[in-house]
Structure 1
Amino acid sequence: MNCEACQLKELEVEHFEIREVLRCILHTIVFHRALGLVRPKDIDLELFEITYVQCGDAELEKKIDEKIEQFISWVDKHPNKKSQICLSFYEVKSKQPSWFTNKIERLYWEQWYINLNVTQHPKAHSGKFHHSKIVVDPGESASEERIARRAALEASLREVLFQIVKFVNEKKDHVPPITDATHFPYEITIPSSSDSAFGMDMFKRMLQTGHPTMLS
């Protein structure tokens, strides 16, 4: 089966930016692969002058947030490491029953690789930058550097969003027939605590996962 893969541009983020950046990227991808009737919901990022669209599905939001929290926990245990999250879409097929098993098989048709480099910067958790867009503080010597870094990240995040839209518009032949579900079955894979690296290890783990979960 033809499986298309998209490697998104690596983003250099600070710890407190992870949640918003990942929500923006993951929801944008899923929205562009949504089926049937969705209730689009515009979301304004707190840290950046960017608006993205969610599907308006509470269960989907919950599942994405749970994966993001798991990823943040992994980052806390592996500081200053580059990392990768994989969002995969698949079809569900029943394997031929054998003497021992009657398994469900996942046939992957699209995979998105989100690449993050989580860095530590002085005053990274300053309240001025936590819950608001860029604020100039004359008393903070590093403010100009931080503003420039935030502007660069915002520009890079916009590039990633355009990269997603471009890929979706150009790559269509591999998309399976539309089903009566709201979304294609999907999974989000994050590094495990035992990983010394990401990439093939994560891919192997992904292929060994059990029964799929369908969105309601």
Structure 2
Amino acid sequence: MNCEACHLKELEVEHFEIREVLRCILHTVVFHRALGLVRPKDIDSELFEITYVQCGDAELEKKIDEKIDQFIGWVEKHPNKKSQICLSFYEVVKAKQAAWFGNKIERSYWEQWYINLNVVNSKAHSNKSNHTKVVVVPGERALEERSMRRAALEQALRDVLFQIINFVNEKKDHIPPVPNVEGVTFPYEITIPSSSDSSFGMDMFKRMLQTGHPTMLS
């Protein structure tokens, strides 16, 4: 099956912004792959002047938050590294019968979203500036620079949301028939870097982490 991939624009975030940014992006993508049995819920971002839509399913929200928690834990162990999260949608297919295992169940991926984050340490940046022969930035100027950085991130996040919307509007032929399963959205999985990953790249997708039963939203 043809698997479409969307590589979202990289976002530079601070540690405390990770959760809100990922919630906004992941829920936006999942909502656009909802199966229709949803109660859309508008969510006003806690950090940005942005409103996004959730599917209104408590179990889905829980699973997304669990993956975000895992990712934040990885970031804390691997500071100052660029990182990538992959949200994949797939079909469950039966492969050819194996000689001793019977029918093997496989996943046929038809769409993958790559979320790219560059997590920066604001304390590290401030420490670097303290070691230079530059006059200490006054409080008002520091607040102004922080406000400008937040505005830039907000605009970049808006760009990512528009990128998502443009992709789902332009790429439709690869979407499979609606599966005959109970669930809010198409079967999906969220992949984060594993603790054994020492570098940033495609290797992380060979060791996909799965939580619970990704074929169903139970």
TM-score (norm: length of structure 2): 0.87
Alignment root-mean-square deviation, CA: 2.2
**CA distance in structure 1 between the partners assigned to 2:187 and 2:6 by the alignment:** 18
**CA distance in structure 1 between the partners assigned to 2:67 and 2:104 by the alignment:** 25
Q: CA deviation at 1:200?
A: 2.0
Cα 1:54/1:87, change in 2 over 3 Å: same
**CA distance in structure 2 between the partners assigned to 1:27 and 1:208 by the alignment:** 18
Counterpart residue number, 2:129: none
Q: Is the 8 A contact 2:83 2:116 kept in 1?
A: yes
Following superposition of structure 1 onto structure 2, how do residues 133-212 of structure 1 map, counting pairs within 5 Å?
Answer: 139-180=139-180, 181=182, 182-206=184-208, 212=214
Task: Give unmatched runs, 5+ long, in structure 2.
Answer: 126-137
Task: Give unmatched runs, 5+ long, in structure 1.
Answer: 125-137
Q: Is the 8 A contact 1:42 1:51 kept in 2?
A: yes
**CA distance in structure 1 between the partners assigned to 2:199 and 2:124 by the alignment:** 28
Equivalent position SS for 1:198 = coil
Q: Is the 8 A contact 1:35 1:183 kept in 2?
A: yes
Identity within the alignment, %: 81
**CA distance in structure 2 between the partners assigned to 1:114 and 1:123 by the alignment:** 24
Q: How many residues align?
A: 203
Q: CA deviation at 1:140?
A: 4.8
Equivalent position SS for 2:13 = strand
Cα 1:208/1:75, change in 2 over 3 Å: closer
Cα 1:173/1:74, change in 2 over 3 Å: same
Please state if 1:75 is matched with 2:75: yes
Q: Is the 8 A contact 1:92 1:212 kept in 2?
A: no
Q: Is the 8 A contact 2:98 2:104 kept in 1?
A: no
Cα 1:146/1:207, change in 2 over 3 Å: closer
TM-score (norm: length of structure 1): 0.88
Aligned-partner residue type, residue 198 of structure 1: F
Q: Is the 8 A contact 1:3 1:111 kept in 2?
A: yes
**CA distance in structure 2 between the partners assigned to 1:7 and 1:179 by the alignment:** 26
